[in-house]
Structure 1
Amino acid sequence: MGGTEHLTVRREGATLVLTLNRPEAKNALSLPMLVGLYDGWVEADADDSIRSIVFTGAGGCFCAGMDLKALAGNGMTGEHYRDRLKADPDLHWKAMLRHHRPRKPVIAAVEGHCVAGGTEMLQGTDIRVAGESATFGLFEVKRGLFPIGGSTVRLQRQIPRTHALEMLLTGRPYSAREAAGIGLIGHVVPDGTALTKALEIAEQINACGPLAVEAVKASVYETAEMTETDGLAAELKRGWPIFDTADAKEGARAFAEKRPPVYKRS
């Protein structure tokens, strides 16, 4: 199991938990963090025993955005990290879920600050839980910058355009309740319990047929920008083969026998 000094990786049953671990800097993104994140997404995709991913931050904070000095490598030990970025110039975008979508469901567990690059990475996750004191926002325009992590494209597809433009153009903070009200997050829970709630959701996903779960996720994203006719055709193409799997037969058999199913990804 991987990880770096700024990114911890652990297993909770069939769930891989990736934790941004730089609390002294509000988990601002650094090169070791990005390398660890990328490796975590790759590990989750490669390991069939992993059925879901929970993405969170240490120290009561999710992520306060990019640390430009750390990304440049200033004061950072270990040439290995810069070598990784040099070998794959797209690595940081994959780490931030801009250029990579894991096939396993990704559940964000947010406490505290989730702003700038934090809110941009959030848009690459599938299900989102936040503590009631969490803060969201895209502050780039206030600094004369551009939210180049995908927000001008993704945000308007995930929440109503008027809310997306207000968030993008004002650079103001949003409370967890307001973020839930516009559809950016799905659950607001008491502070300190976001990870617990995210793991509960992950456990519900883990109990389902993994082939079915991954096909459903893929279909949702694949058909998002299609016409209804094209989308329905694509859904059938992806969905019908699931009915021929041993897991589908096991699901029906377990239901008839009133027992939990035992899925084997076959």
Structure 2
Amino acid sequence: MSDVIQLSVQDGVAVITLNRPEAKNAVNQALAEAMARTLDEVEAREDVRAIILTGAGGSFCAGMDLKAFVAGENVSVGDKGFAGFVQAFVSKPVIAAIEGYALAGGCELALACDLIVAADNAKFGLPEVKRGLAAAAGGLLRLPRQVPYRVAMELALTGDMADARRMHELGLINHLAEPGKAMEGALELAGRIAVNAPMSLRVTKTVIARSQDWSLDEMFERQSELVAPVMKSEDAIEGSRAFAEKRAPVWKNR
């Protein structure tokens, strides 16, 4: 594993850490490529049921490394997009644990996650317009779906930062934590997720994430295609039996 990305796995939870603290974890080509490889690894691991994405050194991510950009480095990886992450469909739930700054591409990384736990003094923003750029790594697409339209428009057009408490009020953030304790909060949330059936988790995430684009006429049919294997699985029987027997289920992921 490259040292610009660190991976640890315990109790069904994978923690992926952006590890360029000297650059506030800004994304260069090495980090993007390492992230893409790491995602492939955690997707393939059956012992991973939930993922936490965080940054080293007290900051989440300051976005694209502008020095790397000027030098011509490629900070996108194939169909996974910016940072080897923002366009990837990760089947397992991903929680962003945010301290410090989640700006530009760093904010877009957070928007690409399923859940967010942030320190109450963290800062979010899409300052690309201040740099002659555009938030093309999902910021302009995802932010209006996750906060009110006019709030998204103001943030994107001004490039100003927003504080975590305001973003929590608007529903962008699931849980606030004391400064320095975002990871603790993310681990608690991930633990509540990871005890659940892996097939159920994957399908539940997939339906919620993709159904926003389904029409009323097709949504139940498309959901059924995804959910049917879960309802017929060994884990469905095990979960029901464990509930009746008042014990913890033993999942087999089949």
- Map Cα deviations across residues 24-63 of structure 1 (whole Å, 9 max, x no partner): 1111112221122111111111111111110000111000
Aligned-pair CA distance for 1:73 = 6.0
Aligned-pair CA distance for 1:136 = 0.3
Are residues 1:181 and 2:169 paired?
A: yes
Q: Which residue of 2 aligns with 1:59?
A: 57
- Residues 82 and 137 in structure 2, CA contact (< 8 A), matched pair in contact too: no
**1:246 alignment partner, one of 230, 234, 239:** 234
Instruction: Give the TM-score, by structure 2 length.
Output: 0.94
The 1:94–1:253 alpha-carbon spacing in structure 2 relative to 1, beyond 3 Å, is farther
Q: Which amino acid aligns with 1:214?
A: R
Secondary structure of the corresponding residue to residue 198 of structure 1: helix
Are residues 1:204 and 2:182 paired?
A: no
CA distance in 1, matches of 2:109, 2:152: 15
**1:255 alignment partner, one of 224, 235, 243:** 243
The 1:232–1:197 alpha-carbon spacing in structure 2 relative to 1, beyond 3 Å, is same
CA distance in 1, matches of 2:139, 2:84: 12
CA distance in 2, matches of 1:39, 1:232: 35
Q: Which amino acid aligns with 1:62?
A: F
Are residues 1:15 and 2:13 paired?
A: yes
- Tell me, which stretches of 5 or more residues in structure 1 are unaligned? 75-81
Q: Which amino acid aligns with 1:169?
A: L
- Map Cα deviations across residues 88-118 of structure 1 (whole Å, 9 max, x no partner): 9526716453321111110000000111110
Segment of structure 1 superposing worse, 155-164 or 225-234: 225-234
CA distance in 2, matches of 1:27, 1:157: 26
Q: Which residue of 2 aligns with 1:77?
A: none
CA distance in 1, matches of 2:247, 2:127: 50
Segment of structure 1 superposing worse, 153-162 or 15-24: 153-162
Q: Which amino acid aligns with 1:124?
A: A
CA distance in 1, matches of 2:187, 2:27: 24
Alpha-carbon RMSD across the aligned residues, in angstroms, is 1.9
Q: Which amino acid aligns with 2:139?
A: S
Q: Which amino acid aligns with 2:204?
A: V
Which structure 2 residues correspond to residues 1-266 of structure 1 after superposition, within 5 A? 2=1, 4-71=2-69, 90=78, 93=81, 95-266=83-254
The 1:17–1:71 alpha-carbon spacing in structure 2 relative to 1, beyond 3 Å, is farther
Q: Which residue of 2 aligns with 1:78?
A: none
- Tell me, which stretches of 5 or more residues in structure 2 are unaligned? none
Aligned-pair CA distance for 1:71 = 5.0
- Residues 128 and 135 in structure 2, CA contact (< 8 A), matched pair in contact too: yes
CA distance in 2, matches of 1:233, 1:258: 34
The 1:15–1:227 alpha-carbon spacing in structure 2 relative to 1, beyond 3 Å, is same
